[in-house]
Chain A
Amino acid sequence: MKNEIVDALSERFPGSIRGVTELRENLTLLELGKEDVPRVVEYALGSLGGTHMTMAGTDYTASLDQYVIDHVLGWYDRGLLLVLRTRVQKGDESFPSVTPLAPCADWYEREVKESLGLTPVGHPNPRKLLLSDDWPDDLFPMRKGFKNEAPPPLRRDAGFTFNAPEDAGMFNIVPYGPYHFAIHEPIYFRFHVDGERIASVDLRAGFNHRGLEKIAETRMTYETVPFIAERVCGICGSVHAEAYTQALERAAGFEPPERAKWIRVAILEMERIHSHLLWLGVASHMVGFDSGLMQFWRVRDRIMFLAELLTGNRKQYGMIVPGGVRRDIREDKRETALREVSTILREYEELFDAALRLGTLKARLEGVGPLSEADARRLSVTGPLARASGVSMDARRDYPYEAYGQLEFETPVRGEGDVLARTIVRAYDTFESIKLVKQALENLPGGPVHAPIEYIPPDVTSMGLVEGPRGTDVHYLITGGEDTVYRWRVRAPTYANLPAAPLMLRGQTLADASVIIGSIDPCISCAERVIVVDEASGRQRLVSGDELRGWRA
């Protein structure tokens, strides 16, 4: 099966593919010349129906005098992954941009530009993405030579240029951020509005960039990375720990004990229920249905209790580690948990019926923030956002990991592509998750919950795919020597979904902006992860880091 894609590409681009390596089952690596990448990616996504999963640049200048850029494409329907590898020589730090042909590469290429200093030639929007405005232009944090110790000397003359439509004078500017008051996270949408209608949108991100990948590469060991991975996100932490662990275990060719696999499923699904209920509450609040917020969160609190019972923590469970899980589930706790799951199911069912019958709520969600199936595929969005636009994708089903292959569940898909469809997809998804937690706890096999990983070979490219509440979380990993990762690249679902927000907002009203942005279930801290610099930009004026420090003193 996998050869179909490789065959199709070899047939279409004879001579472009310089090498084919099968890294493991269903994960194939193709070597390409850098000038061929845009056409191959465009063809693979557009004509072969692939999904862009992630892209990562890695600094190999110390050993090979070159940088490596990998595009990872996936075919959910075939359970197949393809790594398109290209090399950029030191001294000629540029490569032809993929973005004009495949817009989903936009953010990745901007990130490679600022973090590694590799310029995507022909990129339509080469502004900064994650680093702050006053970060020096010639300092690239993901280069191996960069030490993340003292803060670097910052630029004083920095500023950020917003994109404006040609007829900008006709519109009022409404800033939606930098601190977004409905999702309570730092992200900045700038609208040009005509009355209440949004005519154009510019998006600025990067306020939350923490540099976790660099920290993992320089200061942590294989065993400790899951804990920082869990802190990529405050809501779906286990998803990141699982994705990293999966990538690492697959690189080592290690199979965790059976019981650990089932416990992992229970933990991940518990987290999904908590996340979806949280979202349903927040979405209710965004459209002014505060009773919904209170009621969904009331049920959600039962999940928090369940999490505490099984893991010792209400959040940040710290359960998933390389080799298995940290705690076993005792028999009496398992029984309490199963009883609790039935209660949650009953209460959620009641609430689900009541909320979805509410006319005023439905009226606020229906037809709002549309995203067509074609756009969803073109931008390679993921998770409920894609599933509400008719794209059937679910890493649990298509790239089975842990015990998912042995469990029964369905993947809700809707075709309307509006906020209501996203709500319904998440609401039904919650039922499936409750079902999964129940199955996992009921059929928990015996045996140990942890086994040591004997050997992790260096320089293995590996992938970890986990279907998080917000979509497929993709971790790209290259193992290194001496117990550290060489490159770890986190692609949180929001990173893929956020670029679709401007598209969904255009032409909509200001009243719906919050719930449209909210319908992605955005997790800003997930999407941005690399270096901390004090920086805050007001509407027009930029406040420098020094000024901020002065204020604080």
Chain B
Amino acid sequence: MNVAILALNVVLAIIAAPLIDGLRRVITARLQNRAGPPVTQSWHDIAKLLRKETIPPEGAGFLVSVLPALTLTLSIAMFATISTVTTQSPIEGGGIVFIELAILSAFVFAAAGSASRNPYGVVGGSREVILATLVEPSIIVSLTTLIVLRGSTTLDDAPIGLGFGVPLLVAAVAYLLSVLAEGGRIPFDVAEAESELSGGPLMEYGGPPLAAMKLGLYVRSLALFSIPKFFLTALLPPGSLGEGLSVTVIALYLASLLLCIILVSLAESLSARFRLVEASRFYAAVLALSLVALVLVYAVPGAR
């Protein structure tokens, strides 16, 4: 375990995640003919929420005070397991931990909604669980494809000179499609659904707990947006990146982040919100796609 990289990731998560969300807001605004907020807006939102008082919902148990912090912690932990701006990963076998934390944080977020006992929170929480049950498998399968192709469960940027092939491409597409749903944005914001559920799981939270929930969502998105880079670095010839901080890695990272943000913004601007049924149908197809990728890894000769 590399504590220095781990610490770097934690700091990066807290600083960069709101900026990434801010960038999404700006791009979405431009796509909708709006001026939009400054890139730092999500940062200011969090800072403002932290200054507000906490009012726990009446009749809710102790869970409401624990779960927001837990959501944030799990998301940061998730982000901390992968290599970000450096070529090495902070922990061995981080890919498996990443997948586990991704699943866990989605369910904790849903539980935080239900714990408030607000009917909207409960409905939002149950929608989140259903959506997660559908989306997480395709994330798992497409990540597994990447892991199999790379031959390592550690999510780092070690270049292995992997040949560009159909299985990798299909897995990357399946992954990008599943990530769309994870940020809780239109058309996949069925759990939060501003005009239907008024925030769903977030509804009863305010002040610092809401800040924790929001930051948790931002960090979770950032963590998931960080994966596509691994599809790219795998293609580079072995030894081409060196050790430690790497300009190439940072450049590829920023490019893949931008790609994810633009995809999310485009989906948000060009579509109406899905119902749960439509989202399920969509993700059944994405899951099938990711399974195809995994099968191709074994079916196509020389893919591994």
Contact = CB atoms under 8 A, between A and B. Distances in A.
Contacts of B195: 181-182, 285-288, 514
A511 interface: yes
Given A172-B119, A360-B187, A511-B196, A287 B272 contact: yes
Interface string A256-294: 000000000000000000000000000011111111101
B272 A361 contact: yes
A459 B187 CA distance: 58
Interface in B97-121: 119-120
Interface string B257-286: 000000000001111111110100000000
B51 interface: no
B123 A173 contact: no
Interface string A163-174: 000000000111
A211 to B, nearest CB: 31
Given A173-B119, A174-B123, A291 B193 contact: no
A298 interface: yes
A289 B196 contact: no
Contact of B273 (A193, A289, A294): A289
B123 A510 contact: yes
Contacts of A290: 32, 186, 268-269
A358 B33 contact: no
A279 to B, nearest CB: 14
Nearest to B31: A291
Nearest to A361: B272
Interface string A82-98: 00000000000000000
Contacts of B122: 172
B193 A288 contact: yes
A172 B186 CA distance: 27
A289 B123 contact: no
A348 to B, nearest CB: 15
How many of chain B's residues touch chain A, expressed as a range?
20 to 34
A514 B186 CA distance: 16
Contact of B276 (A196, A288, A294, A514): A196
Nearest to B189: A288
A175 interface: yes
A548 interface: no
Contact of B119 (A175, A511, A512): A175
Contacts of B193: 288, 511
Contact of B275 (A172, A182, A286, A509): A509
A356 interface: no
A291 B269 contact: yes
A511 B191 CA distance: 10
Nearest to B190: A511
B33 A196 contact: no
A173 B119 CA distance: 7
Interface string B181-209: 00000110110011111100000000000
A19 B271 CA distance: 60
Interface string B1-43: 0000000000000000000000000000001111000000000
Contact of A360 (B32, B119, B123, B274): B274
A291 B31 CA distance: 8
Contacts of A511: 190, 193, 196, 275-276
**Best-surrounded residue of A285, A288, A360 (most CB of chain B within 10 A):** A288
Interface string A140-177: 00000000000000000000000000000000111100
A288 B32 contact: no
A22 B259 CA distance: 73
Interface string A398-437: 0000000000000000000000000000000000000000
Interface in A285-326: 285-292, 294-295, 298
B181 to A, nearest CB: 13
Contact of A288 (B119, B186, B198): B186
A363 interface: yes
Given A172-B119, A172-B122, A288-B186, A364 B269 contact: no
Interface in A333-357: none
A364 B275 contact: yes
A360 B198 contact: no
Contacts of B197: 510
Contacts of A298: 33
Contacts of B269: 290-291
Contacts of B276: 196, 511
A285 B198 CA distance: 13
A463 interface: no
A513 interface: yes
Interface string A505-539: 00001111110000000000000000000000000
B272 A360 contact: yes
Contacts of A512: 275
Interface of B: 31-34, 119-120, 122-123, 186-187, 189-190, 193-198, 268-276, 278
18 contacts: A173-B119, A175-B119, A196-B276, A286-B195, A288-B193, A289-B186, A289-B271, A289-B272, A358-B270, A358-B271, A360-B272, A360-B273, A361-B272, A363-B272, A364-B272, A510-B123, A511-B190, A511-B193
Given A363-B275, A364-B272, 13 more contacts: A181-B198, A287-B195, A288-B273, A289-B271, A289-B272, A290-B268, A291-B32, A358-B270, A358-B271, A361-B272, A364-B273, A509-B275, A514-B195
* 4 cross-chain pairs, A with B, having the tightest CB-CB distances, nearest first: A288-B273, A289-B272, A294-B32, A361-B272
Interface of A: 172-175, 181-182, 193, 196, 284-292, 294-295, 298, 358, 360-361, 363-364, 509-514
